[in-house]
A and B are shown apart, each in its own frame.
Chain A
Amino acid sequence: MSIQTEPFVLNIGPQHPSTHGVFRLRAVLDGEVVVNVEPVVGYLHRGIEKLAEGRTYTQNIPFTDRLDYLSSMTNNLAYCLAVEKLAGIKVPERAEYIRIICAEVMRISSHLMAVGFFLNDLGALMTPVLYMWREREKIVDMFEMVSGQRLLYNYMRIGGVSQDLPEEFLPAVKKFIAEMPRYIEEYDQLLAKNEIVLVRSKGVGILPKETAVSIGASGPVLRASGVKWDIRKADPYSIYDRFDFQIPTGETGDCYERYWVRMQEIRQSIKIVEQALKQIPEKGSVCTDVPQFFRPPRGEAYGYIEAPKGNLGFYIVSDGSIAPYRLHIFPPTLINITALQDMARGWKVADLIIIFGSMDVVLGEIDR
């Protein structure tokens, strides 16, 4: 005798600790096995693109902080690069280095959070994430020195940065960069060969290379699938062509490799910051003179960077007035979660949580 069964629909979120914000997953299950998942987004939609049309170019910078709020510095950078491209503004040498140092330190912080919360989802409740927090706290302190803020920095400006570095900043970065490799060793001892981590994440949620490219994935998710594509190398913006660093890539594209790629990227970021600290000019202007109500010429520009989570872009259309005619934000994580269906199908519910955690999703960016 056969028993008639029908698929069960499980609603995960929007308020759930493993959804990293307000994200809803509509999972169709066959017993405990995931048949299909449908992400439902938009709970944090604030209409930033519409708001931007009524504000000046400089007034829009604080909005960009609120996209991926774990990496405000890189969001600022992407927006400022796009406006500078549109108006053809040159950035002073010292400001370029300040930007790179801030962006790379931000990447370290974002990846630490990604790895920490990934392990949290894995079941290692709070212990690993608090280790990561210990280092992130130092980064947050350093950014507080430069901007007075601990989360939403609003530090970069069109044509440079808002103010010069305080005296104590560069020594603090030097000290942090010197200490960091030891902490990474510590994480590796705790996690890299940890049996539970390996069993639960190796071979789980595989994203094949072809799928990763066709869904347009970027950042560590794409690189873990074995595609050597990093905008800092492929199309160097700012002054990334002056630094020597490698692009770590995975082979299979499972959850473990996404974790591993992020840890390697932290090492590469340290390398970049070390070089930048040696090269940074000691004195000099940190911002080009840009009028308060500045009007870029008519036209359009697309500025994009390799943000910690992937390819972050701003498409700006100017009609010659003080506010953008249209500002479009291209968020990396919205595109990355397209793959969630393919990755989760056939795995158990508990694995679905890990797979989602390994994507490093921040909802402020998806919903905008």
Chain B
Amino acid sequence: MTVALNAEELGKKINEAIPGSALSGDKGYLLIDSKSIAQVADYLKITDGLEFDYLTVMTAIDYLEYFEIIYRLVSLKNNHSLILKTRVYGRENLSVPSVVKTWRSADYQEREIFDLFGIKFEGHPNLKRLLLWEGFQGHPLRRDYI
């Protein structure tokens, strides 16, 4: 069985290594400050005992006040998983650091989120629309897009 790690304990551990990065971890997922997501990603991948080498699903949800970005990480070696979340507030000029350098599976998924939600990923090597064509107006998966 893939064991879901205790997010609260892990949050404390991450806060020791990268102060101020983990915001909360009490609802079964770990909420990370969006500025330090790339650092946390690196930490989760290289730290012994965690070794999250495999990023599966990555997506965004529009809650109108903020967008939530979800990362589901798995460690193939230790067979445990973790759901990581981060929030960006506002509707225009949104950006989050990219995690492509850590997990390449984020490549197309970040492009998809950029395409359908309009969230930019800083540091992504080739950030352009994935499913829709260049020049398409708007971001269809936003709740206010009709």
Contact = CB atoms under 8 A, between A and B. Distances in A.
Q: Do A and B bind each other?
A: yes
Interface of A: 41-42, 45, 47, 49-50, 211, 213-216, 218, 227, 229, 234-236, 302, 304, 311, 313, 315, 317, 325-326, 328, 330, 334-335, 337-338, 367-368
A113 to B, nearest CB: 24
Interface string B53-87: 11111010110000000101000100100010000
Contact of A216 (B56, B61, B131): B56
B132 A313 contact: no
Given A47-B140, A213-B76, A235 B2 contact: yes
A42 B79 contact: no
A244 B57 CA distance: 28
Interface stretch (B8-16, B18-26, B33-41, B104-112): B104-112
A74 B6 CA distance: 30
What band does the interface of chain B fall in when counting residues whose beta carbon is under 8 Å from A?
Answer: 20 to 34
A311 B56 CA distance: 8
Contacts of B5: none
A367 B62 CA distance: 21
B139 to A, nearest CB: 11
A212 B10 CA distance: 27
Contacts of A337: 108
Contacts of A367: 131
Contacts of A317: 61
A268 B130 CA distance: 36
B43 interface: no
Contacts of B109: 335
B98 to A, nearest CB: 14
A50 B83 CA distance: 23
B88 interface: no
Interface string B109-139: 1000000100000000000011111000000
A311 B57 CA distance: 10
Given A50-B140, A215-B105, A367-B131, A315 B55 contact: no
A41 B70 contact: no
25 contacts: A41-B131, A45-B131, A49-B141, A50-B141, A213-B53, A213-B76, A214-B103, A214-B105, A215-B107, A216-B55, A216-B103, A216-B104, A229-B76, A235-B1, A236-B1, A302-B83, A304-B57, A313-B57, A328-B57, A328-B59, A330-B56, A334-B108, A335-B105, A338-B104, A338-B108
Contacts of B70: 315
B56 A42 contact: no
A45 B57 contact: no
A227 B141 CA distance: 35
Most central of A215, A313, A368 by chain B CB within 10 Å: A215
B79 to A, nearest CB: 6
Interface of B: 1-2, 53-57, 59, 61-62, 70, 72, 76, 79, 83, 103-105, 107-109, 116, 129-133, 140-141
Given A334-B108, A338-B107, A214 B53 contact: yes
A-B interface, 8 closest residue pairs, ranked by CB to CB distance from nearest: A216-B105, A235-B2, A42-B131, A330-B57, A328-B59, A45-B131, A215-B104, A326-B61
A337 B53 CA distance: 18
A338 B141 contact: no
Contacts of A328: 57, 59
Nearest to A326: B61
A88 to B, nearest CB: 15
B30 to A, nearest CB: 14
Contacts of B76: 213, 227, 229
Nearest to A336: B105
Contact of A304 (B53, B56, B61): B56
A7 B134 CA distance: 24
A347 B51 CA distance: 33
A278 B71 CA distance: 40
B128 to A, nearest CB: 10
Contacts of A235: 1-2, 79
A78 to B, nearest CB: 12
A166 to B, nearest CB: 35
Given A42-B133, A213-B76, A215-B104, A234 B2 contact: yes
Most central of A49, A227, A311, A315 by chain B CB within 10 Å: A315
A41 B70 CA distance: 23
Most central of B62, B76, B103, B105 by chain A CB within 10 Å: B105
Contacts of B105: 214-216, 335, 338
A213 B105 CA distance: 9
Given A215-B105, A334-B108, 9 more contacts: A47-B140, A214-B53, A214-B103, A234-B2, A234-B79, A317-B61, A326-B62, A328-B57, A337-B108
